[in-house]
């Protein structure tokens, strides 16, 4: 995925640079977990060059804020800040070393996102995007990473090992940036699928809860076997699962994944992270190697927003549910029909799909502005999973059960150039031998809500949708608190972020982007403070909300109401023929076709 775009970028600038030899040295002191020291040594460096912090396609954590004491060795050599994420070195000798310390930002809660670096007395995570500046214009240059670690600490990373156990190798900046490094004392397992070694490591602090590691690892191996069986072979030489306690979320890489997996959850259920892990692992193909045209590449600049994530994220959601079932493992929803019921309920109750196309919702997914879709909040994961599920049914029906969405995935994997809406449409049409232009026009290029019954009917199923009052665990109607806030760039006050324009807050006249002054006469100064104030609200309350919109200050009275959920029930059609019965049985079993 990344090397193609990196090659394009590297060939574009007129300024040519013979590749310098780059060595990163990362030094960890377990008695000072406030950060770690980095030295970047360049041999054959040009007299002037730039170092930049890589911008990830999916997030912008702006860790350039936390680089302390950036210096360069050598008399007459200078390093200056050229931009927020860029440093310029001038007057450099052929051999030059830049040093700095990454000061880790303070923990804001018990858990932190799994993709961010951390350091504890018994382990840590170091990665390129947050910590290792790259040489601009030398994106094809290989690099060595030398780790200076406390005694007894080990290393798990997709970086290539060398004869020296503390030294690793990356063939390009893209590879370096996609190779997180887990350090410390951790559990370590491995298994082989189709001759490819898979390593599973789990880091935990000393007070972690024990869990059933045998089940944890063997079920993971089951998912891996199913994904490899779908595509025919693993796309990597080896793969590393980097799990850790005290973290949430996950981030995929071509040959690895970092995952938050709290030991408290795993001790209650060793499969607690199975679907999330299946999702991230499926990304090793879908998004890492099968990717939208123009996605990826090495840059420190803002990236274009992709229109293809409904395939990259949505189809990955589809397989995160399906692969564990194929492996005979239990997943959250008891059956595929139950899974689709829950999915369609969320899909039908969100008005975003009637208002925005799958392409547009895809663009909102990794957009830095949370109000990208105005008063609507879209999920490209949900959108794409519903569209993928419907296309799967269509393909199965049109081919008499001989093909499925699996064939589309294999077709996508054969095209390394990157897909477009048009190329996915052509591939689906070829797979089913049918015309799907109207489907792609209606739901992908334009906004439209899928009528699931059109596709469910092909395999003898029918969905009924009911709107029922949202209630809490004790059966009491819940107040409509479908409103959030965010801190716009440069603003000290949070702004409104509506979940839907048709809820209590939208109906009262509020819009996403309105700057919050006060709620119920209490000044709003933070995102957390706004949310905390909402929990006091009850159905029937009238709340004065003062906002600033442009130069106007407005007082809006929000009448707190209840709200309704869409509840979908799927049942069999009254009359169903043999062909439908066969398709239904294969679909319910999660069969490949
Ligand atoms: Zn994902």
What's the CA dihedral at 17, 134, 140, 170 to 10 degrees?
A: 140
CB 360 within 8 A of CB 584: no
Condensed to tens digits (0 to 9), the pLDDT of residues 51-88 reads 999 999 999 999 999 999 999 998 899 999 999 999 99
What helix, strand, coil percent values describe the chain, rounded to 5?
30, 25, 40
Q: Which residues have a beta carbon within 5 Å of ligand 1, which is an ion?
A: 313
For 479, other C-beta atoms within 10 Å of its C-beta total 21
Task: Report pLDDT for 11.
Answer: 43
What is the residue-averaged pLDDT of the chain?
Answer: 94
| CA nearest neighbour of 198 among 154, 235, 153 | 235
Task: Report pLDDT for 4.
Answer: 34
CB 256 within 8 A of CB 241: yes
Task: Output the CA 583–ligand 1 centroid distance in Å.
Answer: 29
Task: Output the CA 298–ligand 1 centroid distance in Å.
Answer: 20
Please check the confidence at residue 537 and state whether its pLDDT lies above 80: yes
CA distance 450 to 117: 41
Task: Output the CA 251–ligand 1 centroid distance in Å.
Answer: 8
Task: Output the CA 279–ligand 1 centroid distance in Å.
Answer: 6
Task: Output the CA 283–ligand 1 centroid distance in Å.
Answer: 7
Task: Output the CA 592–ligand 1 centroid distance in Å.
Answer: 22
Task: Output the CA 192–ligand 1 centroid distance in Å.
Answer: 24
**Which two three-digit tokens encode residue 268?**
């209650």
Stretch 361-368: mean pLDDT, rounded? 94
Under the banding of pLDDT at 50, 70 and 90, the label for residue 277 is very high
**Which DSSP category does 477 fall into?**
B
Under the banding of pLDDT at 50, 70 and 90, the label for residue 417 is confident
Task: Output the CA 317–ligand 1 centroid distance in Å.
Answer: 8
Task: Output the CA 516–ligand 1 centroid distance in Å.
Answer: 32
Stretch 374-383: mean pLDDT, rounded? 97
Under the banding of pLDDT at 50, 70 and 90, the label for residue 415 is confident
Please check the confidence at residue 21 and state whether its pLDDT lies above 60: yes
CA distance 453 to 457: 6
Task: Output the CA 1–ligand 1 centroid distance in Å.
Answer: 15
Task: Report pLDDT for 162.
Answer: 96
Please check the confidence at residue 420 and state whether its pLDDT lies above 90: yes
* Longest CA pairwise span in the chain (Å): 86
For 561, other C-beta atoms within 10 Å of its C-beta total 14
At residue 106, φ and ψ (nearest 5 deg) are: -60, 150
Distance of CA 209 to the CA centre of its chain: 27
Rg of the chain taking only CA atoms, in angstroms = 26
Out of 10-19, 224-233, 339-348, 429-438, pick the least confident: 10-19
Task: Output the CA 45–ligand 1 centroid distance in Å.
Answer: 38
H-helix or E-strand containing 22?
Answer: strand 21-27
Please check the confidence at residue 459 and state whether its pLDDT lies above 70: yes
Instruction: Give the 3-state secondary structure of residue 450.
Output: coil
Task: Output the CA 287–ligand 1 centroid distance in Å.
Answer: 8
Out of 102-116, 117-131, 395-409, pick the least confident: 102-116
Task: Output the CA 407–ligand 1 centroid distance in Å.
Answer: 21
Task: Output the CA 288–ligand 1 centroid distance in Å.
Answer: 10
Task: Report pLDDT for 110.
Answer: 66
Instruction: Please count the residues of the chain.
Output: 593
Task: Output the CA 420–ligand 1 centroid distance in Å.
Answer: 19
Task: Output the CA 490–ligand 1 centroid distance in Å.
Answer: 29
CB 238 within 8 A of CB 158: yes
Under the banding of pLDDT at 50, 70 and 90, the label for residue 556 is very high
What is the 3-state secondary structure of 507-523? HCCCCCCCEEEEECCEE
Please check the confidence at residue 6 and state whether its pLDDT lies above 60: no
Strands 483-486 and 154-156: unpaired
Task: Report pLDDT for 9.
Answer: 40
Stretch 288-304: mean pLDDT, rounded? 95
Please check the confidence at residue 125 and state whether its pLDDT lies above 60: yes
What percentage of the chain has pLDDT greater than the value 70?
97
Task: Output the CA 21–ligand 1 centroid distance in Å.
Answer: 34
Stretch 463-469: mean pLDDT, rounded? 98
78 forms beta bridges with: 90
Residue entry with tokens 């996102």: 113
Task: Output the CA 525–ligand 1 centroid distance in Å.
Answer: 32
Condensed to tens digits (0 to 9), the pLDDT of residues 155-204 reads 999 999 999 999 999 999 999 999 999 999 999 999 999 999 999 999 99
Task: Report pLDDT for 112.
Answer: 84
For 93, other C-beta atoms within 10 Å of its C-beta total 14
Stretch 5-12: mean pLDDT, rounded? 40
* List of E strands, 63-222: 67-72, 78-83, 86-90, 96-103, 112-113, 118-120, 123-126, 134-135, 143-148, 154-156, 160-161, 167-170, 181-184, 186-193, 196-203
């Amino acid at each position: 995925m990344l090397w193609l775009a990196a090659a394009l970028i590297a060939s574009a600038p007129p300024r040519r640079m013979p590749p310098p030899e780059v060595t990163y040295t990362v030094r960890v002191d377990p008695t000072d977990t406030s950060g770690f020291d980095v030295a970047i040594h360049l041999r054959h460096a040009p007299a002037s060059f730039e170092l930049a912090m890589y911008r990830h396609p999916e997030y912008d954590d702006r860790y350039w804020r936390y680089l302390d004491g950036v210096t360069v060795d050598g008399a007459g050599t200078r390093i200056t800040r050229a931009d927020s994420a860029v440093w310029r070195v001038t007057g450099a000798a052929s051999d030059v070393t830049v040093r700095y310390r990454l000061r880790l930002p303070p923990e804001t809660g018990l858990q932190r996102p799994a993709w961010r670096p951390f350091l504890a007395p018994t382990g840590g995570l170091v990665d390129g995007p947050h910590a290792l500046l790259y040489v601009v214009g030398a994106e094809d240059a290989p690099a060595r990473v030398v780790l200076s670690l406390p005694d007894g600490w080990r290393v798990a990373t997709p970086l290539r090992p060398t004869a020296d156990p503390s030294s690793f190798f990356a063939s390009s900046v893209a590879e370096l940036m996609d190779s997180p490094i887990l350090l410390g004392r951790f559990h370590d397992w491995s298994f082989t699928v189709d001759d490819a070694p898979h390593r599973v490591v789990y880091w935990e602090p000393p007070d972690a809860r024990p869990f059933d590691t045998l089940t944890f690892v063997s079920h993971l191996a089951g998912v891996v076997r199913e994904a490899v069986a779908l595509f025919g072979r693993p796309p990597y030489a080896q793969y590393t699962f980097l799990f850790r306690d005290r973290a949430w979320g996950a981030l995929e890489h071509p040959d690895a994944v970092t995952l938050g997996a709290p030991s408290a959850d795993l001790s209650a259920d060793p499969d607690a992270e199975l679907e999330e892990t299946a999702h991230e692992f499926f990304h090793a193909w879908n998004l890492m190697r099968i990717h939208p045209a123009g996605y990826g590449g090495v840059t420190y600049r803002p990236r274009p927003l992709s229109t293809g994530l409904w395939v990259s994220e949505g189809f990955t959601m589809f397989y995160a549910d399906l692969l564990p079932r194929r492996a005979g493992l239990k997943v959250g929803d008891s059956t595929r029909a139950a899974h689709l019921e829950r999915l369609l309920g969320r899909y039908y109750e969100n008005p975003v799909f009637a208002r925005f196309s799958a392409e547009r919702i895809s663009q909102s997914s990794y957009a830095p502005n949370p109000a990208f879709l105005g008063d609507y909040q879209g999920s490209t994961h949900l959108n794409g999973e519903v569209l993928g599920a419907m296309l799967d049914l269509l393909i199965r029906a049109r081919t008499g059960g001989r093909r499925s969405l699996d064939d589309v995935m294999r077709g996508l994997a054969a095209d390394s150039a990157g897909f477009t809406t048009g190329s996915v449409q052509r591939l689906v049409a070829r797979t089913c031998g049918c015309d799907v232009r109207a489907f792609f026009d209606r739901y992908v290029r334009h906004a439209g809500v899928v009528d699931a019954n059109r596709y469910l009917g092909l395999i003898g199923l029918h969905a009924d949708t009911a709107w029922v009052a949202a209630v809490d665990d004790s059966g009491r109607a819940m107040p409509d608190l479908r409103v959030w806030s965010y801190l716009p760039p440069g603003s000290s006050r949070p702004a409104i972020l509506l979940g839907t324009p048709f809820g209590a807050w939208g109906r009262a006249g509020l819009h996403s982007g309105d700057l919050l002054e006060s709620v119920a006469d209490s000044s709003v100064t933070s995102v957390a403070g706004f949310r905390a104030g909402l929990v006091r609200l009850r159905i029937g309350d009238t709340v004065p909300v003062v906002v600033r919109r442009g130069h106007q200050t407005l007082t809006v009275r929000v009448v707190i109401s209840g709200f309704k959920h869409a509840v979908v029930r799927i049942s069999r059609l009254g009359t169903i023929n043999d062909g439908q019965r066969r398709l239904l049985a294969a679909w319910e079993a999660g069969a490949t076709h």
